[in-house]
Amino acid sequence: MHSLLVVAQNTFRETLRDKILYNLVFFALLLIGASVLLGTLTIGEQARVVNDVGLAAINLVGVIIAIFVGIGLVTKEIDRRTIYTILARPITRTQFVMGKYCGLIFIGGLNISIMFSMFLVTVWLSGSTIQGSLFQAVELMLVEVLVMTAIAMFFSTFSSPTLSAIMTLGFYVIGHLTGDLKRIAEKSKDPIAEGITTALYYICPNLELFNIKGQAASGIVVSVDYQLATTFYGLLYAALLLVAACRIFERRDF
Amino acid sequence: MDAIVIDKLSKTHRPAWPWQQAVTTLHEVSLSVGYGEIFGFLGPNGAGKTTTMKIVLGLMRATTGTVELLGRPALDVDVHKSIGYLPESPYFYDYLTAEEFLWFYGRLGQVNPSDLQQRIPTLLAQVGLTEARYRPLRKFSKGMLQRIGLAQALIHDPQLVMLDEPMSGLDPVGRKDVRDIILGLRDQGKTIFFSTHIISDVEMICDRVGILAKGRMVTVGSMDELVNRNVAQSVEVICEGIDGESIPLVKEVAMRVLQRGNRCWMALPGQQRLEEVLAAVRQAGGRLVSIIPHKGSLEEIFLERTSQRT
Amino acid sequence: MKSFRKHMAFWPLSLLIFGMLLGLQVYLKPWQQSEKKLEQMRYLPNGEYLRVASLGYRELLADMLWIQAIQVMGERKISDSSGQWLFRALDSITTIDPHFVRAYEAGGLALTTLVVLPEESNQLLKKGILNNPTEWKLPFLLGINYYYELYDDATAARYMVHASQINGAPAMLGTLAANLFLSARSPQQAADILAAMYRNTTDESAKKLLEVRLRLVLTERDLQSLEQVIAQYQKQTGHFPASLDDLVGSHLLTSLPDEPSGGRYIYEARTGAVSSSTMTERLTLTGRRRGK
Superfamily of domain covering B232-294: ACT domain (3.30.70.260)
Does pLDDT of C8 surpass 70? no
Portions of chain B given CATH number 3.40.50.300: 4-226
Q: What percent of chain B has pLDDT over 90?
A: 15
Which residues of A are less than 8 Å from C32 in CB distance? 179, 208-209
Across the interface, whether the CB atoms of A236 and C25 are under 8 A apart is answered no
Neighbours of chain A (3+ CB pairs under 8 A): B, C
The CATH class for the domain spanning B4-226 reads alpha beta
Least confident of B74-83, C15-24, C247-256: C247-256
Decide which of B147 and C73 is more confident: B147
Q: Taking CB atoms and an 8 Å cut-off, how many pairs form between chains A and B?
A: 76
Would you state the pLDDT for residue C34?
47
Write the pLDDT tens digit of every residue in B139-158. Answer: 888 888 888 988 999 999 89
Q: Which ranges of C43-100 would DSSP assign to H, the alpha helix? A: 47-53, 58-73, 80-96
Which residues of B are less than 8 Å from A253 in CB distance? 13, 54, 59-61
Q: Which residues are CB-neighbours of C85 under 8 A, at least 6 positions away?
A: C38, C39, C41, C42, C72
* Residue A85 one-letter amino acid: T
- For residue B231, name the pLDDT band (cuts at 50, 70, 90): low
Which residues of C are less than 8 Å from A184 in CB distance? 67, 70-71
Determine the 3-state secondary structure of A189 from DSSP. Answer: coil
* Residue C171 one-letter amino acid: A
Would you state the pLDDT for residue B229?
63
Would you state the pLDDT for residue C292?
42
Across the interface, whether the CB atoms of B93 and A14 are under 8 A apart is answered yes
Does pLDDT of C35 surpass 80? no
Would you state the pLDDT for residue A46?
67
Query: Cβ of A67 under 8 Å from any chain B Cβ?
Result: no
Sign of the alpha-carbon dihedral angle for A215, A220, A223, A224: positive
Q: Is the pTM of this model over 0.95?
A: no
Sign of the alpha-carbon dihedral angle for A163, A167, A168, A173: positive
* Mean pLDDT across B164-177: 84
ipTM of model: 0.81
Would you state the pLDDT for residue B228?
65
Which chain A residue's Cα is nearest to C39? A215
Which chain C residue's Cα is nearest to A242? C14
Which residues of B are less than 8 Å from A87 in CB distance? 57-59
Across the interface, whether the CB atoms of A177 and C64 are under 8 A apart is answered yes
CB nearest A180 (choices: C18, C39, C68): C68
Residues 156-195 (B) with a CB less than 8 A from some CB of A: 162
Write the pLDDT tens digit of every residue in A156-213. Answer: 988 888 899 999 999 998 888 887 777 777 777 778 888 888 888 888 888 888 888 8
Cα(C207)–Cα(C199) distance, rounded to whole angstroms?
A: 8
Write the pLDDT tens digit of every residue in B236-288. Answer: 888 888 887 888 888 888 888 888 888 888 888 777 788 888 888 888 888 88
* Mean pLDDT across C138-156: 85
Write the pLDDT tens digit of every residue in A39-56. Answer: 665 555 667 777 877 888
Portions of chain B given CATH number 3.30.70.260: 232-294
Instruction: Indicate the burial class of A58 (C-beta count within 10 angstroms; 0-12, 13-18, 19 or more).
Output: buried
Across the interface, whether the CB atoms of C21 and A52 are under 8 A apart is answered no
Write the pLDDT tens digit of every residue in B280-308. Answer: 888 888 888 888 877 666 777 777 777 76
Write the pLDDT tens digit of every residue in A197-242. Answer: 888 888 888 888 888 887 787 777 888 888 999 999 999 999 999 9
Decide which of C57 and B139 is more confident: B139
Would you state the pLDDT for residue A44?
54
* Residue A197 one-letter amino acid: T
Helices (H) and strands (E) in chain A, counts: 11, 0
Residues in a beta bridge with C267: C274
Which residues of A are less than 8 Å from C27 in CB distance? 229
Show the domain range for A79.
2-251
The domain total for chain A is 1
Which residues of B are less than 8 Å from A251 in CB distance? 61
Would you state the pLDDT for residue A139?
94
Would you state the pLDDT for residue C3?
47
Cα(A234)–Cα(A93) distance, rounded to whole angstroms?
A: 24
Query: Cβ of A80 under 8 Å from any chain B Cβ?
Result: yes
Interface test with B, best of A89, A159, A251 (most B CBs within 10 A): A89
Which residues of B are less than 8 Å from A103 in CB distance? none
Write the pLDDT tens digit of every residue in A78-93. Answer: 888 888 888 888 888 9
Write the pLDDT tens digit of every residue in A6-37. Answer: 889 888 888 888 777 777 778 777 777 776 67
